[in-house]
Amino acid sequence: MLAWIPRGLSRGRVTTAYPRTPESPPEGFQGPLVVLEPGRGPAELQQLCPTGAITVADDGTIALDRGRCILCGACVRAQPRRFAFSRSFESAVSRRAELIQRSGAGVGGSSAALPEDGIPRDAQLRRARAALGQQARALRRSIHVRHIDTGSDGCEEWEIEALWNPYYDIARLGFQLTSAPRHADILMASGGVTAPMREPLLRTWELMPEPKALIAVGTDACSGGLAAPGGLVAGGIDQVLPVDVYVPGSPPAPIALIDALLLAVGRLRAEVRG
């Protein structure tokens, strides 16, 4: 038993400094999809995607919905000059429309989809992330997170659990996992909401005190993903409850989940102030 103590100390610190310093994925990581310049193409491009994430407008503008994208890479392989995997972890946004990606404008970035304050999404995100990191540290040991599986494929659970492993250790940012919904500030829901999980989801959310934030974890939770058309799955958490933060990915990597949690903290703070 005592031998574990030197063993625990022998390997030094492995924990990431994220979000204080950015963390870039290893070479070859397949991050959120981007539409490349010039961003126009024929309507047939829509056929490439098994989940209907790609749409082409009448004027040929290509839009890619990251909330539907399962990162299968079919479009990247067929049209490498139009679509690419980005090499970044972060994918969280606070409004569903912001997940729709068009070329040259970042996520949600056509001028029509700009956030209300008019600040471009990427700059806003960088600034918000830095500020939220500060806030989260100031709230040390006071943000309680509850998880509910509403029909995931099981990967999301691994990645959420990894948040408390020594590499990511989000307890250092003040996030604690709680089993009691009545103690929870943030609910992380994974899965497209199967029929038997609809009621447990509603009940869990109801039990949480205000202010509270709901995170849709993974592409299935954002849109239903591949399981959607059968009718057995509601097609995303927001078909049942209003969602505060969407973090697509199949599944989203732990760093993407930290990013989502920080965004959710921002929503909690806004609610307290507002």
Partner 1 sequence: MSGPVNPAPDRATPAPAGGLPGQLDAPLLPSPAQELRLAVGAGQLAGAAVLLQAQGARFITLLLAQTPAPALQAVFALGGELVVLRASADGEPLRYPAISAVIPAARWAERELAERTGVQPQGLAPGVALTTPEADLLDSTLDGPDVFTLPFGPVRSGVFEAIQFMIETGGEDVPRIRTRPFFKHRGLEQRFSGMTPEAGVHVAERIAGIAGVAHACAFCQAVERALGVGVPPAAERWRVLHAELERIACHLDVIAKQAQTTALSVGHARFQILKESIMRLRVQLSGSRFGRGVLVPGGVRAAGALPLARLRAALDSFEQELRHDERLFRGTASMSDRLIGAGRLSRELLEQLGAVGPLARGSGLSVDARHERPHGEYSRLGLRVITAHGGDAMARVDVRLREIGESLRILRQVTDRLADDGTELLAPLPSGASGDAFGWVEAPQGEVVTWVQVRDGKLARVHVASPSLRNWAIFDHAFPRDVLTDFAFIEHSFGLTAAGADR
Residues that bind partner 1 (CB under 8 A): 1, 3-5, 7-8, 11, 14, 25-30, 50, 70-74, 77, 85, 147-162, 165-167, 177, 179-180, 191-192, 194, 196-197, 199-200, 204, 225-227, 229-233, 250-251, 253
Least gap, CB of 67 to partner 1 (angstroms): 16
Shortest distance in whole angstroms from residue 30 CB to partner 1: 4
Q: Residue 96 Cβ, how far from partner 1 at the closest point, in Å? A: 21
Least CB distance from residue 85 to partner 1, whole Å?
Answer: 7
Neighbours of 23 (CB within 10 A): 16
Pairing mode, strands 186-190 and 213-217: parallel
Instruction: Compare residues 124 and 176 and give the one whose CB is closer to partner 1.
Output: 176
Pairing of strands 245-247, 186-190: unpaired
Asked if 238 and 220 touch (Cβ cutoff 8 Å), the reply is: no
User: CB-wise, 57 or 202, nearer to partner 1?
Assistant: 202
- To partner 1, the closest distance from the beta carbon of 274 in angstroms equals 30
Strands (E), the chain: 33-35, 54-56, 62-65, 83-85, 100-101, 143-149, 175-177, 186-190, 213-217, 245-247
Min. distance of Cβ 44 from partner 1 in angstroms?
Answer: 16
Q: Residue 70 or 113: which CB sits closer to partner 1?
A: 70
Q: Quote the distance between the C-alpha of residue 57 and its chain's center.
A: 26
Q: For the chain, how are helix, strand and coil distributed in percent, rounded to 5?
A: 40, 15, 45
Q: Which residue has the tokens 């749409």?
A: 55
In the complex with partner 1, the residue whose CB is nearer, 23 or 63, is: 23
Residue 224 contacts residue 191 (beta carbons within 8 Å): no
Residue 175 or 266: the one with the smaller Cβ distance to partner 1 is: 175
Q: Which of 73, 211 has the CB closer to partner 1? A: 73
